Structure formats: structure tokens, C-alpha cells
A and B are shown apart, each in its own frame.
Chain A
Amino acid sequence: MDLHYTQATETPHERAAVDAVLGPADSTWSTGDRRAETESHSAHAGHAARSQRDRLLPALHAVARRIGWISEGALNYISRRLTIPPAEAYGVASFYALFAFEPRPKTVVHVCEDLACKAVGSDALIAELERTAGPGEPQCGGASMWLRSPCLGLCERAPAGLLTVAGDEPHDEPLEFVTALRVAAALEGKRDFGFAPTQPPQHGDPSLRLLRRVGTVDPASLDAYRAAGGFRALRRAFDIGALGVLREMTASKLMGRGGAAFPTGRKWEAVAREPERPHFIVCNADESEPGTFKDRIIMESDPFALIEAMTIAALAATCDFGYIYIRGEYPLATRRIEHALEAARAHGMLGDDIMGRGLRFDIELRRGAGAYICGEETSLFNSLEGYRGEPRNKPPFPVQKGLFRKPTIVNNVETLINVPDIVLHGGDAYAAIGVADSTGTKLFCVCGNVAKPGVYEVAFGATLRELIELAGGVAAGHRVQAVLLGGAAGAFATPDELDAPLTFAGMRAIKATLGSGVIMVFDETVDLEAMLVRIAAFFRDESCGQCVPCRVGTVRQQELLARLAARRLHGSPDEERSLLAEIGQVMRDASICGLGQTASSAVESALAKLNLFSSAVPVDERTPV
């Protein structure tokens, strides 16, 4: 660390935004305006200043929300406050898609161009928007602009958008069922388009467990949550103690819902056993897998359940502090969680003496800033710590060296909200639901061309066909062309495979995965080749660039699919396909994280199962002889 700053200085607004996050500077050395009369002979910095490093991302957010973009002066100021080189702060800031480093309008409308929105016509919407002004072009006298965005996690209300307005009172809101008119209104200054969580399609079904409070219990009221049975599980957890909770969790056979399906009880036990202190629990709410929105709905509609579950985990594994890392594109969920955390603190459900039972635990909410990779647990740790969100090598695993290199439980939102019922009713009762290797119920994000897109809860064992029918099936006169399971990192199923049971084993049998629970249905009107090109573009954008095979492979994969889609091959179709398979293989073999390892899986399953690119013939003059 050699601290060489440029001459650029921050504006008073930028300074105020940063100070609001970092607190007032304790030394004028760290603000860039050292006062000669008081501090020319001494200074404090060192560990105290660097210990705030994890506040880098919140400080960047603060500037972006206040100003709309991050200037060189603001970066200098943040770097001085944290005693880090500005080049390093820039390296972190520029890792995230939501931050801009050139002046931009205060109002930005992000329009989703990803899979679920594409399936319901976002291509036409974007084409219409482009007729007025391209993405990134200032409009309305420089007051606003629109941008293309990867999946915004509003797939049940596609096409989706996100409105962000920077300023002293920043305003963010999700936009549903976006039309060109809506975008135009937002760009012209209209606010409050009336997004509110609605009841899930299965509302009223008495068998609902995870969703039973969604749409029926006021998410802004702790009393309402308690009246609906909330915090009874935490009370029981205190009664049965840490070992009791661990016993029930193990008995439940709950498997992590984040995609890796690791037994949650074993994870908690491993952290509980670690002698090193402190322990952390991190809730991975960076739900960015295209087509996934279940965690968002839980956080918007049942935020206290998440807090209760994390507190139980803290009790069981003696975690000293918790973080919820939520994706930056979820403004409503962010507000609801923030409110719930405040209410929980006010009611003694977080803090120094929870429920008067002597437990000290609190949770801090941190926002991501537009980086799919940060959903990978070790990337998430780096992001939380204020570094570029690049994955770490494993081992060591998070239970040994996780956040701040300390033993850490990291669980997905959906995994955690299973916890209260397990503690309340016992692990055995939970294990009786579902099937042997897949216990409990599962949330599925059904979207695309179905009548009633939304989040559905079914016991493990239901078939794909049953779930699609639950969602009203495809529109009359249409038929299922293909189903994308597990999101962009998942795999395609054909109409012949709809009777496969939705279990971990059942999915393996059709070479697919439950992944994040995405069931994206495409009818015969959808251009699947364009979908594959979009998937490839998504991975190219989102590869963090750390591992060369993924950094280069995702680009090559996209180029190759573009050639296939355009029918302009470099070689015979077989050669192109084997090249694609080779790229996928090298990414699987030599990437350290799941992104590179799965970047080719949807594409490869589509090519294997679906009859795509069939008429592609080599026409390129570079065709080898």
C-alpha cells in the first residue's frame, strides 16, 4: 500500500454521503485536508482505519445513490478514509455493474433483457425504446436515461424494470409489466408505479408451509408476525439449547437450497465445533440466477422469518454476528428487511440480550451492486469485506475460513426459512415431508409462458408436469417447446421429460438440476436459439475474469453461438459443435467456481436434447479445407 492520490477532490455532497457511512473522520489526515496547526506532528491510522475496509462497498453505494455516479474525487476521499490506494478502490468499484464513473443522469430506468422477460416480449419493448434513444443516452434534458439489464428477479411480472433516482433523498423502485409508455413516464419523472407484493398463486392452500404468511401477514409488523406464530421457534430453540437445535437440524435432513444441496445441519455443526472466534452467519440473498425470484418474495413478504431463522442459527453455532447480503436490484426487499431489523432490535429480538435469554447477536444488511458472481459464497465474502467479488479457492471451506477468514455459516434465504418449522415441530416431522433423499417442501419459480407465473411451494416428489399445470400451463392453443430448469446455469428439459420428479435424484436422471428452483417454460413461439445466445452473453458479462478458462471461454462460447445462430460457421457443424464441447469441458475442468463450471451446461443440454441450429452450414471463406 503506497497511498498516492490524484489531485481530484470530493464535493461537499460526496463527502457527506461517505461520512454518513463511515462516520466522521477522527483525523484530518484521513480526509485530505490535514490541519497543519493540530496534526502536523501526529496521526492515527493503521488497524483502526483499515478495519473499516468492509465499508468500502457501502461507501460507494452512498455516493452512487446521492450523486448518481462516482467521481475521481469521491474515490480519492473514500480511499483516504479507508487508507487504501485509490487504484484499489477503483478496482473494487468498477467490478460492479451498478456503479458508473462518468457523469450520468440522476434518473435511470433499467430494463431487463434476460430470459423470462424475453419469453414474453421484452425484445420488442427494447426495440421500441431504442427508437427514441439508445441505452445510456441522456434524455429529458439530461435528467434521465435507460439501460439494458440482466435479470432483475421480477420474472413473475415480466417484462421487468428497475427505477433508480439518485439524490439527497434517493428513490429506488421495481417496475412490473413494463411497457414503453411506463418507461417513458418514469424517464419524465413519474414515481411510485405501485409495485406491491401480491398473494402467491397458491394463496389459501392449507398445505403451504414456507409461503403461509406471504400475502397474508403484514410484513411491516413484528406484532403481526408474532400473532402468526412468529418467534415461537426461537423460544423453543432457547429451551432445547444449541445441541438440541443441531440435533433437530440434522434429523430434518434439510439440504441447502442455494444449488449445492449440502446438508444444513452438518454445516451448522461444523461451525459450532470450530474453536476459532468469532463465528459469522451470512444469509446469501444475492439472488441473481436468471429466472429466480423466490428469495425476493420471501424477503418482501416475510422478513421476520429470516431474522428468526438466523438468530436460531446464531444460537446453535455460537455466531457472534450476522450479515444479509442482498442483491442491489431489490429495493423493496431491502427496505422491508431494514425495517424488520430495526423492529427486531426495538423489540429485543436482536441485540445484547435477545428475549432476555442472554444471547448477543445482531444482523447487518449489506447490498450488492450488480454482480452475479457475488452469489457464489466465497465471492460474497470478498465483496462483503470490501474486495473485488472474486471467488476463493476451496478448501479451506467457509465453515473453517469464511467471512474475514473466520468460521462462517452461509445459507440461502430459502434454506433459512425452513429452520423455524424444523425447530418448532422437530426434525423427524420435517423429514417425513417429501421423499427420502429430498425432505421438506421446495419453492419453485415458475415463469415464462405459463398462465400464472409465480413462486410455488410443493413437497419434493411432484413432477415437472404437475407444477406446470399448477401454474395454469401454457396458453390454450400452444404447447411446451422446452423448459429451462435451474436458470442460466441449469439445463433444458424436453416435453418428453415432463414426468420427471422434482427431486435432487429425479433431476440428475434427466441430466438436469434443481439449482435455484427455476422452471422457465417456453412455448413453441419462443426463439430458443436466441435464448441460448442470451445465456452465453450473460455468462460473458458476468464472468469475473479471474480464471482464464472462464474469462476466455465464455467469450468464445458466445461468439460460437452467435455464429451458429447466424448460420456463418468457421468449419463444419460438427467441428463447431465439438469446439463448443471442448470450451465447456475446459471451463468445467479449470474454473475454480460454479460460474465457469456451469457456464456451458444450459447450452450443451440444449444442443444435446433440442433440435437447434439444424440448417447451419459452413459458408465462411475461412472454412478449413
Chain B
Amino acid sequence: MFGAGGGTNSYEEVEHTDLIVLWGSNARETHPIFFHHVLKGIHNGAKLYVIDPRRTASAQWADGWLGVNVGSDIALANAIAREILVDGLENRTFIDRATLNFEEYRKSVERYTLDYAQEITGVPAAAIRELAHAYARADRAMICWTLGITEHHNAVDSVVGIINLALLTGKVGRYGCGVNPLRGQNNVQGGGDMGAIPDRLAGFQSTADAAAREKFEKAWNCTISPERGKRLNEMFDAMEEGELTALYCIGENPVVSEADRHRAVRLLEGLEHMVVQDISLTQTARLASVVLPAAAGWVESDGTVTNSERRVQRVRKVIEPPGNARDDMWIVAQIAKRLGRDWGSPTAQDVWDEVRSLSPMHAGMSYERLEQLNGLRWPCPDENDPGALFLHGRLWADPVEGPKAPFHAVEYSAPLDAVDAQFPLLLTTGRRLDSYNSGVATGEYSSPLRRVEALEISPEEAARHGLSEGEIVAVSSRRGKVFVPVHIDRALREGLAFMTFHFDVPTNVLTLDTVDPKSGTAEFKATAIRIDKIGAGSLAAAGD
């Protein structure tokens, strides 16, 4: 944000801030390490607000829980902004000096009254007002979000709506103040940092930037296209159109993780050639023409990962990978060799030093320093730089250094998969503490906490459908149907259901694959569904 692809704060700051807002994040279960830092903050006196349709384990820790309707976050953010402005709690100095487009933004939130927001979000006006005041008045405050914000058709707008609040109150660019997307894997941040984004090179350098391109072309002795590549959703569209016929899939399990599973499987099956490189024979690998067994990214490989606080950390190889499994780097180099490019056999450190030579924000991070300092946070431009604690301090310089931060007016729009008489419930998806995404990395381990996947519904919903705990039901959406047992949980309310996609239940048969055009992420969080009781006899038929 504001030109940098990472959270603005360090974990340390969460421990010393005054107010933490977890927005669309059940960090207690999905980011347990980060939540340890949140807990330290709480024990140091910080107040916690959690915004989530469900009253999650994180929400149970919170001083205030705002149980928004799924996908109504923009309305909530704008109402908070309006309330801050109505009571004159905005930071005028910061707005005047460091931001752009304020007036336009101010007008855009005008219609988001507390009453209107209550109607859209379901959250009582008093609770919205309380959070608006708590956030605006806090000396230090941080907002952190996860997929509850980004798995929507208007994901980018939702994020912008949150960032607007930080700009409005001057809660960015200071110690303990900022806006932070929490990364769901140990190296989501690192993947982006290394350029695994369709229009970026390592260090977020744009492929549209001729100078950057030239630097990489020189180092790699090749030509780089200035055009943006395809996002995942665009690749599937290209498969549909017959434009994309071969796929090399590394460490991804789209059969399970893509929205609208039936469509995803059909398109993958229609490919002329698919190579899957993974640590186990995933559901996707079973459709592949060639499977390349890979070493695990931890214990079996050397390298680095980058976490949510932008800290680059070393990972070390401890054991040899089993059987024919090979290090990802070795496999890629071998493929390059067969394609006519001899990269030799670089070590992880060789690759890292190349990153440092090409990505200025990583330049100061030698292996020695990463080792000594337990990692470093980017940007770290030279070997004397301690790495950045928080980003955008420049916005507080007088005059502001670099470009000002613009407000962007954003408007609420309802989830696309609307509920109606036929599909009256909204299903939202997420993860559980001891399981991980499509289960490739966790499904093989037993866990005392794990229970069979279930459709979680409220006691009221269970009563309305006459369902009891554990009863298997048919869950249908406009795209498909799955059979799943019911789990009754007070954390949900009428009209709301929850499921994960960790295990056997092909949850994404139900979800809609329409994406946010700005991010390419599907609206996993909002699927209109219907629950049907099934007789004992139809269960066998359901087993296909």
C-alpha cells in the first residue's frame, strides 16, 4: 500500500499499541503466531476489537465484537469514517499535509450514516460509534485484516476503505500505528517480494519500468515482456478459451482451493499438458501428465522465507528428502537445462545473493546478517541498515517526503451470490487452527483438536430445519451440492453458515468463482446456499 507490498508494522509494535482491530481475521486460529503478539499487547493493556460475521475464538478475546453481515465491510468502514468526521476526531494536520483527495472522500462517506450502516452491516449503531471513537481517540492503533476482507468481489475496495480510516486519523507511519494484511502462510509475503506476481519483478519492481527491466535482462541475459502476465483466474479463463493449454503448477492445489471446483477440474482435465511439482500426490497432481516430487520447503530445503512483518528469515535443511524427491530449485534448474539454459547448480545462498544484487530493498540482507540478527525486515538497502521497523514514516516528515497518500472513495456493494428464497443462507469459509488450506501440509498429521469437517450453523438455524448435531445434510449452491454433517455453534447466527475446505468435503464445489477484477481473488467468503435434510436412503447415493 502507498507503493509498498507489505504490512506497515512489526510484530513488536502490536505488543505496544493501544488498540488493535482485527478485521475479517480470526487470527487466534489462522495466525496463531501473530496472535501471540496480539495477546502480549492485550496483556499490556491494549484494547481489541474484532470485526467478523462469526463470534470467533479471536472475538472471544475482544473488548468489542462487531458481527458484520458478510461482505458489508465497506459500509462499516465508511460509517466509521463518517462518525469520526461528524465528531471532529479526524487528524486535520495529517490530512492536510500528507494526503490527497480528502474532500472527495469526505463527500463519499456522507451517506453512510450509523442507521444506514446498521441496516447494511447488522451491527448496532452504538457498537459502530464505539469503535469509531475508540479508534480515532487511541494514541496508537493498528488495523489488521485477513481473507475476510480480501476474498470478496470488492476486495481491493474493502482494503482501501480500511486504509482510508488510517489516513483519516493519521494512524500510519508512526510506531504502533498502521495497516497490516496478515499473511496466511510463512512465505506469502516472500512470494510476492520475489516477484511471483504477474507484473512484478523481485522487490516489487514493475515490469512496466524499463530501467528495472533492463537491469534484470542484463543480469539474466534474456528479454522480459513489459506486459502483465495472467493472474490465476485469468489463466482459467484462458484455458476455457483454449488459449492456455499447458500448465506448470508448483506447490499449488487448485482442484481443492479454487472456487467453483467443478469448473476448475473440467478445465484442468482439458489441458494438453500439466506438470505438478509438490511434496505429495495432491488432488491436482492426480490429474497431471507429469508429477515432479519435491522436497519440503522446510527441513528438507535451504533458503529464506518472509513473514507478515516483512522479516526475511533463514530456513535450513536438516534431512534429505525421501525417495526421488528433489529440491524445488534443483528441479527448476534441471528444466532450464533441458530448455537450453545452463544455470549450473546454484546453492540457496547463490540465489539469495542474486536477489540482493537486483532488489534494492533486500540488498543489505547478507546470509551472515540474517543469521546473526534472526532475520531482517525490508527495506534494508545496505549492510549497515538495521531494516525497517515500520513503513511510511515519511508521511510525517514536514514537508512529506515522496508522494502523498491518496484517499480513494469506495462504495458498498452486496455480495454477488445473493441469497433468495431458493438459497436463503450465506455460507462463509475459513480455516481452523490445526489445519492448513487444502490439507497438503497438514492432512497427513493427526491432531487432537481435529474433528470431521462440518457445516457450522446457529442453534436457531438448526431448530428451523429440525437438525441435530452431527446429522448429515445436503448443502447446495447455484453451482453444486455437497453432503456434510452439521455442527451447531452459538458463534453463528441465523442465516449464516461456515465451512472450511481443509479435508474431504469438496467445499469449493459450492463457491462462486467470480473475482475481484482488481485482485483476481474469488469471493470465497459469500456463497448463497440451501440446506436440505436427507433421508437415510439417499446417503448412499450421495457417496459418489
Chain A residues near B (Cβ < 8 Å)? 1-3, 29, 34, 36, 40-48, 83
Contacts and interface: CB of A to CB of B under 8 A. Distances in A.
Contacts of B458: 36, 40
Contacts of A41: 66-68, 121-124, 127, 493
26 contacts: A1-B61, A2-B28, A2-B60, A3-B60, A29-B55, A36-B458, A36-B460, A36-B493, A36-B494, A41-B68, A41-B121, A41-B122, A41-B124, A41-B493, A42-B66, A42-B67, A42-B127, A43-B65, A44-B65, A45-B63, A46-B47, A46-B61, A46-B63, A47-B47, A48-B63, A83-B60
B512 interface: no
Contacts of A48: 63
B48 interface: yes
Contacts of A45: 60-63, 65
Contact of A43 (B47, B59, B494): B59
Interface in B409-441: none
Interface centre among A3, A29, A42, A44 (most CB of B within 10 A): A42
Contacts of A44: 63-65
B123 A47 contact: no
Nearest to A33: B490
A380 B67 CA distance: 40
Contacts of B121: 41
A322 B45 CA distance: 23
Nearest to B495: A40
Nearest to B29: A2
B246 interface: no
Contacts of A36: 458, 460, 493-494
A274 to B, nearest CB: 19
B63 A42 contact: no
Contacts of B534: none
Nearest to B128: A42
Given A41-B123, A42-B127, A34 B65 contact: no
Given A40-B122, A45-B60, 18 more contacts: A2-B60, A3-B57, A29-B55, A36-B460, A40-B67, A40-B493, A41-B124, A41-B127, A42-B123, A43-B64, A43-B67, A44-B63, A44-B64, A45-B62, A45-B63, A46-B47, A47-B42, A48-B63
Contacts of B47: 46-47
B510 to A, nearest CB: 23
Interface string B49-62: 00000010101111
Contacts of A47: 42, 45, 47, 63
B124 to A, nearest CB: 5
Contact of B65 (A1, A2, A3, A42): A42
A473 to B, nearest CB: 59
Interface centre among A2, A41, A47, A48 (most CB of B within 10 A): A41
Interface residues of B, number: 27
Interface centre among B42, B62, B63, B458 (most CB of A within 10 A): B63
Contacts of B64: 42-44, 46
B447 to A, nearest CB: 14
Interface in B39-90: 42, 45, 47-48, 55, 57, 59-68
Contacts of B62: 43, 45-46
A34 B124 contact: no
Contacts of A34: 490
Contact of A1 (B45, B60, B127): B60
Contacts of B45: 47
Interface in B112-142: 121-124, 127
A39 to B, nearest CB: 9
B124 A42 contact: yes
A2 B66 contact: no
Interface in B484-536: 490, 493-494
Contacts of B67: 40-43
B468 to A, nearest CB: 13
Interface string B311-342: 00000000000000000000000000000000
Given A1-B60, A46-B47, A40 B494 contact: yes
Contacts of A3: 57, 60
B104 to A, nearest CB: 31
A513 to B, nearest CB: 39
Contacts of B124: 41-42
B64 to A, nearest CB: 6
A34 B64 CA distance: 15
Contacts of A42: 64-67, 123-124, 127
Given A48-B63, A83-B60, A43 B55 contact: yes
Nearest to B127: A42
A102 B27 CA distance: 38
Contacts of B28: 2
Nearest to B57: A2
A48 B45 CA distance: 11
B76 to A, nearest CB: 11
A317 B49 CA distance: 38
Contacts of A46: 42, 47-48, 61-64
Nearest to A3: B60
Nearest to B65: A43
Interface in B438-467: 458, 460
Interface centre among A1, A2, A44, A46 (most CB of B within 10 A): A46
B394 to A, nearest CB: 34
Nearest to A7: B469
Nearest to A1: B61
Nearest to B492: A40
A-B CB proximity, top 4 nearest? A46-B63, A40-B493, A41-B67, A42-B127
Interface in B347-401: none
A386 to B, nearest CB: 15
Contacts of B66: 41-42
A126 B419 CA distance: 73
Contacts of B127: 41-42
Contacts of A2: 28, 57, 60
A450 B96 CA distance: 88
A42 B129 CA distance: 12
Nearest to B55: A43
Nearest to A2: B57
Interface in B1-60: 28, 42, 45, 47-48, 55, 57, 59-60
A40 B60 CA distance: 13
A2 B28 CA distance: 9
A232 B348 CA distance: 81
A42 B65 CA distance: 5
A603 to B, nearest CB: 42
A45 B458 CA distance: 20
Contacts of B63: 44-48
Nearest to A32: B490
B311 to A, nearest CB: 27
Nearest to B469: A7
Contacts of A43: 55, 59, 62, 64-65, 67
Nearest to B59: A43
A36 B494 CA distance: 8
Interface centre among A29, A40, A44, A48 (most CB of B within 10 A): A40
A41 B494 CA distance: 11
A2 B27 CA distance: 12
A165 to B, nearest CB: 37
Nearest to B28: A2
A240 to B, nearest CB: 37
Interface in B150-209: none
Nearest to A44: B64
A277 to B, nearest CB: 14
Nearest to B124: A42
A76 to B, nearest CB: 13
A324 B302 CA distance: 60
A391 to B, nearest CB: 21
A41 B126 CA distance: 11
A40 B490 CA distance: 9
A83 B58 CA distance: 12
Contacts of A83: 60
